[in-house]
Amino acid sequence: MSVLELTSITKHYGSGHTLVRAVDDVSLKVEKGEILLIMGPSGSGKTTLITMAGALLKPTAGFILIDGIEITKLKEDVLPDLRLSKIGFVFQSFNLLSALDALDNAAVPLIASGKSLKKAREKAKETLVKLGLSARLNHLPKDLSGGEKQRVSIARALITNPSIILADEPTANLDAQNGHEVMELLCATACEEGRAVVIASHDQRIRDVAKQILFMEDGKIIKEEKGGHDSWCPHCRSA
């Protein structure tokens, strides 16, 4: 069974001569341990597509399954719990809470799901240490580098053990070295932890880490090709 399955997904805005087809009849599947990269120019529909895949936006038509659950039929009041348990989000702008240190930023999803503050912080510390941030646990976002902020956001995405990671331009605000480190973390998330990873990006470097690449234009998938994962991935090469 696919971790993520989109069938004939469409998102329209407006009507008549003002109709905009942001996403137009897109279907795709992502398996456990797969890294899918969606590329395309600004306005191509890639961010809209993964926003719908993350149950943050309802499609005009079509259906979406995550772990076999058709999320397009779920009521709005159950979607937050599904997002907490099934989906981890990584954003271009990090979306960290400025008043919280790295530890508490990473712990937010667990606290939201009802875990005690103590247990949430214990798990957050374990995850952040694993991502190389043991010396930055008590630093506020303003005191972290761009790469460190993105690693905190990845820790936050991983902390609930989700089935799928959705990343929107995760390397756009990072230099080459930090971008490479984030690519390796997302790669390890798929290869070592068996999660499905979907990335929307302009960054040509991510073509190396992806197993599959879809190219979008005007809301449609116009081309598909194999990514460079098999030759790039340090986890697969050493297996």
| Span 205-218, pLDDT tens digits | 899 999 999 999 99
What contacts 108, CB < 8 A, 6 or more positions away?
97, 100, 156
CATH of the domain at 88: 3.40.50.300
pLDDT tier for residue 237 given thresholds of 50, 70 and 90:
low
- Whether the pLDDT of residue 153 is over 90: the answer is yes
pLDDT band at 238 (very low <50, low <70, confident <90, very high): low
Can you give the residue range of the structural domain that contains 15?
4-237
- Is residue 239 predicted with pLDDT exceeding 70? no
Number of domains present in the structure of the chain: 1
Across the chain, mean pLDDT equals 92
When pLDDT is cut at 50, 70 and 90, the band that residue 232 belongs to is confident
Other CB atoms within 10 Å distance of the CB of residue 221: 21
3-state secondary structure the chain: CCCEEEEEEEEEECCHHHCEEEEEEEEEEECCCCEEEEECCCCCCHHHHHHHHCCCCCCCEEEEEECCEEHHHCCHHHHHHHHHHHEEEEECCCCCCCCCCHHHHHHHHHHHCCCCHHHHHHHHHHHHHHCCCCCCCCCCHHHCCHHHHHHHHHHHHHCCCCCEEEEECCCCCCCHHHHHHHHHHHHHHHHCCCCEEEEECCCHHHHCCCCEEEEEECCEEEEEEECCHHHHCHHHHCC
